[in-house]
Amino acid sequence: MEKFKQIPIVRKIGFNRIVLVVVMILMYIFFCVGTKGNFLGYERILSALNYAYFLGFLALGVTFVIATGGIDFSIGPVMFCAALVSGYCLTSFGVPIVAALIISVLVGFLFGCFNGYLVAYWNVPPFIVSMAGMNIAKGLASVFTKTQSVSWPQLAQGGWFRYLVKVGNIPVGFIIFIVFSIICAIILNQTKAGRYILSLGSNKEAVRLSGVDIKKWEMLAYIICGTLVGIAAIFFVGAYTTVQPGYGDQYNNEAIAGCVMGGTSMAGGLASIGGTVIGVLIIALLQEGILALGFTKDYQLIITGIIVVVAVYADVVARRRKN
Amino acid sequence: MKQKSLINRLGGQKFIVLLVVIALFAFFCALSPDFRKVTTFIDILSKSYYLIFMAIGVTFPLITGGVDLSIGTGLICYSLAGGYLIVQKGVPTGVGILVCLLFGILIGFINGWLIAVMDLPAFLATLCTCMITRGLGSICSKSMGICWPQNGTPGGEFRSIFKIVVNRNQYPVGIIWALIVVAIMAFVLNHTKIGRYTFAIGSNKEAAILSGINVKFYHIMSYVISGFFAALAAVAYSAVFTTVQPGTGAGFELEAIGGAIIGGVSATGGAGSIEGTLIGVFVICLLKTGLPFIGLQANWQQIITGLVLIGAVLVDIIKRKKEEAV
Amino acid sequence: MGEVILTMKDIDKSFPGVHALDHVNFEVRKGEVHALMGENGAGKSTLMKVLTGIYTKDSGSIEYEGREIEFKGAREAQDAGVVIVHQELNMLGHLTVAQNIFIGREFKKGIKIDDKKMNEEAAKLFERLHIDIDPTATMSDLTVGKQQMCEIAKAISHDAKVIIFDEPSAALTEAEIEELFKIIRDLREQQLGIVYISHRMDEIKVITDRVTVMRDGGYVGTLITADCTKDDIINMMVGRVIYEDPKTQSMVAKDAPVVLKVEHLNAGRMVQDVSFELRKGEILGFSGLMGAGRTETARAIFGADPKQSGDIYINGEKVEINSPQDAVKNGIGYLSEDRKRFGIVVQKTVAENSTMATMENFMKGLFINKRKERAAAQDYVDQLATKTPSVEQLVVNLSGGNQQKVVIAKWLVRDCDILIFDEPTRGIDVGAKNEIYKLMNRLASEGKSIIMISSEMTEILRMSDRIVVMCEGKKTGEIDISEATQENIMNMATREIG
């Protein structure tokens, strides 16, 4: 095993990521066998991908926040809030679709600013901000839509934004998601923002004493997260039809699960976009597979919960060993 | 010795929050004639019991510097499990309640074990159990809403624990129980080892370990208490509301935690009181029930609760900053 | 003075690379106050940690109350009656005084904690010590001095027979010290053995009966306090041969321009009215004992901690420095004494750490120019002879000395004109030490100005052109290298303040 880890190509890709890919393939095989081949179809894969898009954007976003050593579990409800507010503008105020999409991103962005400002400039514990943000997002969405669900138009009704997800049977969404992942990876690894976000997650005080405006960069991480959550909303409504106020919490856990499984450390300072992408694909496949095996959504919740616990514990153990 | 101000002698933040409760009450009374009715008042009380219980429980993890996010969905889960046994399997109500309470203790123990022994961050561990209990609840009840036995039907007597109806007059006896529980838990928090060490963990965990305290045990205990009270809240919830729906409950924890923090529990641990929590919960309850009476949707309460929570934490942070500057 | 209660004989203890205790002898009698003195790093704290079982000794014996013992930890020592009153207070700020004193062994009445009895017992303790503290007060509301008294009360409540005070007066006001002395005298009356670790020469003379001096982990000697002078003690503390050649005269031209001028700097209790000048190409040594306020001064200048008042001039112009950002903009670099916490970002590479303060010079549009970054880092790895397989190595994998070089590289990449080196060679082996000395000399000769804070006398005498001495937050002296001796520096560092 140690030898295998030393092979150059393995080191380049990262041992953990290879393990994750293997896990994903095994899972796929398991589901195919478990459903007596039902899972093999292209349809199923497309369906899993639909789930992966919005979840992927959420996970990309929260990766930045976790990299700073913080947390944001308001992302699910904020995504719903963005989808509801923009959808309501679209269906009730008749704004053009482009404008609605921009509004969606804007809502996410504003929540990101709000959360980031409180955490970075006021030192409010991130979990408190998340909790408050979650409720404000839910409340705002319900108030804005008068507690009605919102249906985004289908393709036949001029819902061209659905092409963002799928043209015919071509998963355009997957391409867009990968493009965004690459952009995020570049931001995280190749820009000043990413450098400072990761560094302050590892040792805030050392970065401050290097003369860096840590508050600005910490807030930026939350803003990036919020914006990506806004984009996630677009892909949610692009793949599904109706959005109901009052929901969205379960996606927090799934996004965080994807993130942590991919090797992003809850203690901050260590993050991998590539890992997050694979992690999200696994989670999406898992959700789809559980349903395909004939279990209800409830089992999804439980299994994801257990996965997060295990992944975080693995991170805790890894850190303990290092010290 | 520092001269204590009048407000401090009356209980500091608690006193101010109590004034807020009174002011809110007066405000809603003044604006809405419907709010002034006795039935409304009883309704507010009835809907406050489960929140009071949850908030009392979560006060313990909060004081240790942690948090328990699983109490909201946990409440629904325990209630569904107990209710399912009573309604579908025909076990006596008492046994159903017992199962409900044991379930809460079990989940609380798991939380505590993950946090104290396995070293997971509290919000993450309990976020996971939050999801898990939501799933378990639905599975227990086969995704159906559960109605605990109604008043007047066999096994429905437990509802009279919280509200007695005599000749169409309602008596909210639940508040007496709530106050007794508050008194007991205030005693536990202030006068027993469990409470003392809960504070010690939140104040300076390292020093607590060095003092020879079995920190892991007491740390777990704080989550067990939280789980137990979530289950107690489940009983109160089942008694007051007609149906318990699977998939709900998310958001209750925020109301409870918000109430506790408004009532003076420090978001970073080490400080807090049961009386304060009780008063804080009433702020949330009044907002929740009062807003619709003045023509605002109930959902405004969610937004306001969120903002009030942040406001309360900010006050705490600013206060500490000032103290440090001296 | 009564009979001997505690004897430590031939105690030897080594850590990897350091001979921390070299056959040390020490004894305490009943009813005496025995001072333990020595410079920073002389081994006093290590000796006490060996005594209380926090460290295990390599050889030697400890005899307590006529029996040979070896405690397995502070708690066992405590139960046997040997208690340390720590420098850093170990308290639970949210609890009351009485609750703190009896934490972990509360009195109980059934399941109820008997707070009333605890308060009474605490009050009795305070009465015995003649201290006026309300047992029901919240710990964090008390002054540091009162908190210390509570620690003492806690120690006594353990039925202590030997109490060790580790620099108890460091954080106390004059009045509080008086009160502390009164307590210590009382305890002496009650036939307790007291070990008193302190740097304050005047206190030693006032309160102690005997003095044991340690130097570089070795035992130097024991004196009867009443029979010796302050100079005797100082001579014993510093009387080592200096192997590395000290500087004999300043390398700085008399007319070199002043690059940094600090006037009447005040920042908290540890920095009071500090003024000094730093010239171009100068290495200005900051000497003083632990807790003299040198690091605090540096942090205040650098904007890392808020300051109350004071002006800073750079090249004759007044500047506003309120955050490290301002300081860095003004060309100041700060090498912290605590590398791990304030210097390096361990999970990042050598290259990434090197450019931490200078990102904007390594950008190509929006992106980091990694090739340029690596080249710059490699340049300094070569210049400083940093031992690392590559600049892509994570800093966590380097040794202490090489980590230090990476932090130095960070500021050199920035091309800072003023460098503050806070204990630059702490925890670094001898070879790396010499390299860092060479580097500092080279930097100074290139026209950089360096403030070097150091607790090692040899380092101060070897490197500095001029020396500022601090004591208890105040500047107590300034001396040119040509006139500096160990004795006169130590004199200023332990000066009594009237």
Chain Cα centroid distance, residue C360 = 36
Q: Identify which has the larger pLDDT, C155 or A66.
A: A66
pLDDT of residue B298: 73
Asked whether the predicted pLDDT for residue C62 surpasses 80, the reply is: yes
pLDDT tens-place string over residues C388-445: 889 999 888 888 788 888 999 999 999 899 999 999 887 777 677 888 888 899 999 9
Q: Produce one character per residue of C118-134: b if its CB has 16 or more CB atoms within 10 Å, e if not.
A: bbebbbebbeebebebb
pLDDT tens-place string over residues A196-254: 999 999 999 999 999 999 999 999 999 999 999 999 999 999 999 899 888 888 899 89
For residues C427 and C404, is the Cβ–Cβ distance under 8 A?
A: no
pLDDT of residue B1: 36
Average pLDDT over residues C458-476: 90
For residues B273 and A109, is the Cβ–Cβ distance under 8 A?
A: no
Asked whether the predicted pLDDT for residue A5 surpasses 80, the reply is: no
The pLDDT mean for chain A works out to 90
Domains annotated for chain A, with CATH where assigned, are: 14-28+43-309 (1.10.3470)
- Residue from A111, A264, A302, A323 whose CB has the most chain B CBs within 10 Å, to mutate: A302
Instruction: Tell me the residues of chain C between 289 and 308 that have a Cβ less than 8 Å away from chain A.
Output: 302, 304
pLDDT of residue A140: 94
Q: Does B218 touch chain C (CB under 8 A)?
A: no
pLDDT tens-place string over residues A130-144: 999 999 999 999 999
Q: Does B12 touch chain C (CB under 8 A)?
A: no
Q: Give B-chain residues touching C105 at CB under 8 angstroms.
A: 212
CB contact under 8 A, B124 and A308: yes
Nearest to B233 by CA among B48, B95, B50, B97: B50
CB contact under 8 A, A206 and C345: yes
CA distance C100 to chain B (A): 9
**Confidence category of residue B276, pLDDT binned at 50, 70, 90:** very high
Average pLDDT over residues A21-48: 86
CB contact under 8 A, C115 and B200: no
> Is the backbone of residue B240 left (phi > 0), alpha (psi -120 to 50) or beta?
alpha
Asked whether the predicted pLDDT for residue C99 surpasses 70, the reply is: yes
CA-nearest residue to A251 within chain B is: B131
Distance CA B128, CA B134 (A): 10
Could you count the other beta carbons within 10 Å of the beta carbon of residue A82? 33
Average pLDDT over residues B169-194: 92
Distance CA C313, CA A86 (A): 55
Predicted ipTM? 0.85
For residues C43 and C25, is the Cβ–Cβ distance under 8 A?
A: no
pLDDT tens-place string over residues B25-43: 999 999 888 888 888 888 8
Q: Give C-chain residues touching A186 at CB under 8 angstroms.
A: 367
Q: Give A-chain residues touching B297 at CB under 8 angstroms.
A: 142-143, 146-147
pLDDT of residue A246: 82
CA distance A90 to chain B (A): 22
C73 secondary structure, DSSP code: S
CB contact under 8 A, B208 and C75: no
**Confidence category of residue C1, pLDDT binned at 50, 70, 90:** low
Query: What does residue C60 show for φ and ψ, rounded to 5 degrees?
Result: 100, 175
CA distance C340 to chain A (A): 8
* All partners of chain A with 3 or more CB pairs under 8 angstroms: B, C
- Give the DSSP H/E element, type plus range, for residue C399: none
How is residue C147 written in tokens?
A: 């908190």
Nearest to B231 by CA among B114, B28, B76: B76
Q: Does B117 touch chain A (CB under 8 A)?
A: no
Distance CA B96, CA B74 (A): 16
Average pLDDT over residues A286-291: 89
CB contact under 8 A, A210 and C324: yes
Average pLDDT over residues A36-48: 83
Average pLDDT over residues B291-314: 86
Half-sphere exposure of B158 (CA within 13 A, CB side): 21
Task: Supply the DSSP string of A137-201, one letter for each residue.
Answer: HHHHHHHHTTT--EEPPPGGGT-GGGGGT-BTTB-HHHHHHHHHHHHHHHHHHHBHHHHHHHHHH
Instruction: Mention every residue, 6+ apart, whose C-beta is less than 8 A from residue B175.
Output: B45, B49
Instruction: Tell me the residues of chain B between 188 and 217 that have a Cβ less than 8 Å away from chain C.
Output: 191-193, 196, 199-200, 202-204, 206-208, 210-213
- Residue C361 burial (C-beta neighbours within 10 Å; 0-12, 13-18, 19+): middle
CA distance A74 to chain C (A): 28
* Coil, helix or strand at residue A14: coil
pLDDT of residue A1: 62
CB contact under 8 A, B132 and A316: no
Distance CA C287, CA C475 (A): 10
Asked whether the predicted pLDDT for residue B211 surpasses 70, the reply is: yes
Instruction: Tell me the residues of chain B between 48 and 77 that have a Cβ less than 8 Å away from chain A.
Output: 67, 69
CB contact under 8 A, C95 and B2: no
For residues A113 and A219, is the Cβ–Cβ distance under 8 A?
A: yes
Q: Does B118 touch chain A (CB under 8 A)?
A: yes
* Closest by Cβ to C344, choosing from A206, A208, A270: A206
* Closest by Cβ to B123, choosing from A127, A299, A320: A127
- Residue from B4, B5, B204, B214 whose CB has the most chain C CBs within 10 Å, to mutate: B204
Instruction: Mention every residue, 6+ apart, whose C-beta is less than 8 A from residue B281.
Output: B48, B51, B52, B55, B255, B256, B259, B260, B263
* All partners of chain B with 3 or more CB pairs under 8 angstroms: A, C
For residues C125 and C190, is the Cβ–Cβ distance under 8 A?
A: no
Distance CA A17, CA A272 (A): 10
Average pLDDT over residues B244-264: 90
Domains annotated for chain C, with CATH where assigned, are: 4-238 (3.40.50.300), 258-493 (3.40.50.300)
- Give the DSSP H/E element, type plus range, for residue C112: strand C112-113
pLDDT tens-place string over residues C313-354: 999 999 999 999 999 999 999 998 888 888 888 888 999 999
Task: Supply the DSSP string of C423-440, one letter for each residue.
Answer: STTTT--HHHHHHHHHHH
CB contact under 8 A, C106 and B193: yes
pLDDT of residue B2: 42
pLDDT of residue C498: 42
pLDDT of residue B3: 47
For residues C187 and C209, is the Cβ–Cβ distance under 8 A?
A: no
Q: Give C-chain residues touching B3 at CB under 8 angstroms.
A: none
Asked whether the predicted pLDDT for residue C260 surpasses 50, the reply is: yes
Residue type, C237: M
CA-nearest residue to B266 within chain C is: C94
Asked whether the predicted pLDDT for residue C244 surpasses 70, the reply is: no
Q: Give B-chain residues touching A74 at CB under 8 angstroms.
A: none
pLDDT of residue A57: 97
Half-sphere exposure of B23 (CA within 13 A, CB side): 6
CA-nearest residue to C411 within chain A is: A210
Alpha helices in A68-125 (DSSP H): 75-92, 97-122
Q: Does A237 touch chain B (CB under 8 A)?
A: no
Instruction: Tell me the residues of chain C between 333 and 392 that have a Cβ less than 8 Å away from chain A.
Output: 334, 336, 341-348, 352, 356-357, 359-360, 363, 366-368, 370
Average pLDDT over residues C116-132: 89
Residue spans of the domains in chain B: they are: 42-249+266-272
Task: Supply the DSSP string of A201-249, one letter for each residue.
Answer: HH-HHHHHTTT--HHHHHHHHHHHHHHHHHHHHHHHHHH-SEE-TT--H
Distance CA B211, CA C374 (A): 50
The packing angle between helices C486-493 and C230-238, to 10°, is 120
pLDDT tens-place string over residues A174-187: 999 999 999 999 99
Nearest to A64 by CA among A177, A178, A188: A188
Half-sphere exposure of B268 (CA within 13 A, CB side): 14
Interface of chain C toward chain B, CB-CB under 8 angstroms: 74-75, 90-95, 99, 103-106, 108, 111-113, 115, 134, 137, 141
Nearest to C158 by CA among C253, C52, C24: C52
pLDDT of residue A319: 80
Q: Does A183 touch chain C (CB under 8 A)?
A: no
Nearest to C484 by CA among C283, C202, C273: C283
pLDDT of residue C152: 86
CB pairs under 8 A between B and C: 53
CB contact under 8 A, A298 and B139: yes
* All partners of chain C with 3 or more CB pairs under 8 angstroms: A, B
Q: Does C415 touch chain A (CB under 8 A)?
A: no
* Closest by Cβ to A128, choosing from B114, B251, B310: B310
Q: Does B297 touch chain A (CB under 8 A)?
A: yes
pLDDT of residue C471: 87
Beta strands per DSSP E along C225-270: 258-267
* Coil, helix or strand at residue A81: helix
For the ranges B114-123, B313-322, C130-139, C450-459, which has the lowest average pLDDT?
B313-322
pLDDT of residue C396: 84
Q: Identify which has the larger pLDDT, A247 or A111.
A: A111
Rg value, chain A, Cα: 20
For residues B197 and B208, is the Cβ–Cβ distance under 8 A?
A: yes
Handedness of CA C234, C82, C159, C165 (dihedral sign): positive
Q: Give B-chain residues touching A302 at CB under 8 angstroms.
A: 131-132, 135-136, 139
Asked whether the predicted pLDDT for residue A323 surpasses 70, the reply is: no
CB contact under 8 A, C356 and A208: no
Residue type, C304: A
Task: Supply the DSSP string of B9-53, one letter for each residue.
Answer: HTTTHHHHHHHHHHHHHHHHHHH-TGGGSHHHHHHHHHHHHHHHH
Asked whether the predicted pLDDT for residue C487 surpasses 80, the reply is: yes
Distance CA C89, CA B141 (A): 54
